[in-house]
Chains A and B, each alone.
Chain A
Amino acid sequence: MKCFSRYLPYIFRPPNTILSSSCYTEADIISTVEFNHTGELLATGDKGGRVVIFQREQESKNQVHRRGEYNVYSTFQSHEPEFDYLKSLEIEEKINKIRWLPQQNAAYFLLSTNDKTVKLWKVSERDKRPEGYNLKDEEGRLRDPATITTLRVPVLRPMDLMVEATPRRVFANAHTYHINSISVNSDYETYMSADDLRINLWNFEITNQSFNIVDIKPANMEELTEVITAAEFHPHHCNTFVYSSSKGTIRLCDMRASALCDRHTKFFEEPEDPSNRSFFSEIISSISDVKFSHSGRYIMTRDYLTVKVWDLNMENRPIETYQVHDYLRSKLCSLYENDCIFDKFECVWNGSDSVIMTGSYNNFFRMFDRNTKRDVTLEASRENSKPRAILKPRKVCVGGKRRKDEISVDSLDFSKKILHTAWHPSENIIAVAATNNLYIFQDKVN
Chain B
Amino acid sequence: MEVQKEAQRIMTLSVWKMYHSRMQRGGLRLHRSLQLSLVMRSARELYLAAKVEALELEAPSPPAPCPQDPRLHQAREAEVPAACPPPDGEPPEPMDAQEAAEEAAAPPRAAELPARCSLRPARVGRKRRSSSNPSDGVDAGLAPSKKARLEEQEASAEPPGRLPPASAPAEGAFPNLARVLQRSFSGLLSRGPAAAPTAPPARDATPACRAADPVLRVLVRTVVAF
Most buried by B among A222, A246, A283, A331: A222
Q: Looking at the complex, which one of A196, A221, A333 makes contact with B106 (CB distance below 8 Å)?
A: A221
Question: Which chain B positions have C-beta within 8 A of A339?
Answer: 17
Q: Which of A219-247 contact B (CB under 8 A)?
A: 221-227, 229, 246
Asked if B13 is at the interface (CB within 8 A of a chain A CB), the reply is yes
Cβ B35 vs Cβ A332 within 8 A: no
Asked if B197 is at the interface (CB within 8 A of a chain A CB), the reply is yes
Cβ B34 vs Cβ A246 within 8 A: yes
Question: Which chain A positions have C-beta within 8 A of B173?
Answer: 87-89
Q: Looking at the complex, which one of B88, B99, B198, B200 makes contact with A278 (CB distance below 8 Å)?
A: B200
Q: Which of A8-49 contact B (CB under 8 A)?
A: none
Sample of 12 further A-B pairs with CB below 8 A, known A196-B30, A196-B31, A224-B30 = A87-B27, A90-B27, A94-B26, A178-B31, A197-B30, A221-B99, A221-B225, A222-B106, A227-B30, A227-B34, A282-B35, A283-B39
Cβ A283 vs Cβ B96 within 8 A: no
Asked if B158 is at the interface (CB within 8 A of a chain A CB), the reply is no
Asked if A337 is at the interface (CB within 8 A of a chain B CB), the reply is yes
Cβ B31 vs Cβ A279 within 8 A: no
Cβ A221 vs Cβ B102 within 8 A: yes
- The secondary structure that dominates the B interface is helix
Question: Which chain A positions have C-beta within 8 A of B10?
Answer: 279, 333, 336
Asked if A277 is at the interface (CB within 8 A of a chain B CB), the reply is yes
Interface residues of chain B, those whose CB is within 8 Å of chain A, are 10, 13, 17, 25-27, 29-32, 34-35, 38-39, 42-43, 46, 88, 91, 93, 95-97, 99-100, 102-103, 106, 171-173, 193, 197-203, 218, 221-222, 224-226
Cβ B225 vs Cβ A333 within 8 A: no
- The secondary structure that dominates the A interface is loop
With both chains docked as a complex, state the minimum distance between the C-beta of B50 and any C-beta of chain A, in angstroms. Answer: 13
Cβ A286 vs Cβ B35 within 8 A: yes
Complex CA distance for A225 and B41, rounded to whole angstroms: 12
Cβ B31 vs Cβ A90 within 8 A: no
The chain B residue with its CB closest to the CB of A288 is B31
Question: Which chain A positions have C-beta within 8 A of B203?
Answer: 277-279
Indicate whether A333 sits within 8 Å of B91 (C-beta atoms), given known contacts A342-B32, A342-B35: no
Cβ A282 vs Cβ B38 within 8 A: yes
Q: Looking at the complex, which one of B31, B46, B171, B225 makes contact with A229 (CB distance below 8 Å)?
A: B31
Complex CA distance for A282 and B224, rounded to whole angstroms: 14
Question: Which chain B positions have C-beta within 8 A of A91?
Answer: 26
Cβ B39 vs Cβ A280 within 8 A: yes
Cβ B96 vs Cβ A87 within 8 A: yes
Asked if A86 is at the interface (CB within 8 A of a chain B CB), the reply is yes
Cβ A178 vs Cβ B99 within 8 A: no
Chain B proximity mask over A263-277: 1 for CB below 8 Å, otherwise 0: 000000000000001
* A-side interface residues, number (CB < 8 Å): 40
With both chains docked as a complex, state the minimum distance between the C-beta of B144 and any C-beta of chain A, in angstroms. Answer: 32
Most buried by B among A88, A94, A246: A88
The chain A residue with its CB closest to the CB of B91 is A86
Chain B proximity mask over A80-106: 1 for CB below 8 Å, otherwise 0: 010000111111101000000000000
The chain A residue with its CB closest to the CB of B175 is A88
Asked if A323 is at the interface (CB within 8 A of a chain B CB), the reply is no
Most buried by B among A91, A178, A339: A178
Cβ A331 vs Cβ B106 within 8 A: no
Complex CA distance for A410 and B13, rounded to whole angstroms: 22
Q: Looking at the complex, which one of A176, A221, A246 makes contact with B31 (CB distance below 8 Å)?
A: A246
Complex CA distance for A146 and B86, rounded to whole angstroms: 67
Question: Which chain B positions have C-beta within 8 A of A221?
Answer: 99, 102-103, 106, 224-226
Indicate whether A333 sits within 8 Å of B200 (C-beta atoms), given known contacts A88-B171, A90-B26, A282-B42: yes
Indicate whether A176 sits within 8 Å of B95 (C-beta atoms), given known contacts A196-B30, A286-B35, A337-B13: yes
Interface residues of chain A, those whose CB is within 8 Å of chain B, are 81, 86-92, 94, 115, 176-178, 196-197, 221-227, 229, 246, 277-280, 282-283, 286, 330-334, 336-337, 339, 342
Complex CA distance for A178 and B32, rounded to whole angstroms: 11
Q: Looking at the complex, which one of A92, A196, A225, A332 makes contact with B200 (CB distance below 8 Å)?
A: A332
Complex CA distance for A226 and B198, rounded to whole angstroms: 28
Indicate whether A87 sits within 8 Å of B100 (C-beta atoms), given known contacts A330-B199, A333-B199: yes
26 contacts between A and B (CB under 8 A): A87-B100, A87-B172, A88-B173, A89-B172, A90-B26, A178-B29, A196-B30, A197-B30, A221-B102, A222-B218, A222-B224, A222-B225, A224-B225, A226-B34, A227-B31, A246-B31, A277-B203, A278-B203, A280-B42, A282-B35, A282-B39, A283-B35, A286-B35, A330-B199, A336-B39, A342-B35
Cβ B26 vs Cβ A222 within 8 A: no
The chain A residue with its CB closest to the CB of B95 is A176
Question: Which chain B positions have C-beta within 8 A of A225?
Answer: 34, 224
Question: Which chain A positions have C-beta within 8 A of B201?
Answer: 279
Indicate whether A89 sits within 8 Å of B27 (C-beta atoms), given known contacts A221-B225, A330-B199, A337-B13: yes
With both chains docked as a complex, state the minimum distance between the C-beta of B209 and any C-beta of chain A, in angstroms. Answer: 20
The chain A residue with its CB closest to the CB of B6 is A333
Cβ B100 vs Cβ A283 within 8 A: no
Complex CA distance for A229 and B30, rounded to whole angstroms: 11
Complex CA distance for A21 and B198, rounded to whole angstroms: 33
Cβ A334 vs Cβ B26 within 8 A: no
Cβ A283 vs Cβ B99 within 8 A: no
Most buried by B among A90, A221, A229, A286: A221
With both chains docked as a complex, state the minimum distance between the C-beta of B106 and any C-beta of chain A, in angstroms. Answer: 7
**Top 3 nearest A-B pairs by Cβ distance?**
A88-B172, A279-B200, A89-B27
With both chains docked as a complex, state the minimum distance between the C-beta of A334 and any C-beta of chain B, in angstroms. Answer: 4
The chain A residue with its CB closest to the CB of B7 is A279
With both chains docked as a complex, state the minimum distance between the C-beta of A364 and any C-beta of chain B, in angstroms. Answer: 22
Question: Which chain B positions have C-beta within 8 A of A176?
Answer: 95-96, 99
Complex CA distance for A336 and B25, rounded to whole angstroms: 20
Cβ B198 vs Cβ A333 within 8 A: yes
Question: Which chain A positions have C-beta within 8 A of B39?
Answer: 279-280, 282-283, 336
Question: Which chain B positions have C-beta within 8 A of A88?
Answer: 171-173
Most buried by B among A86, A227, A278, A283: A86
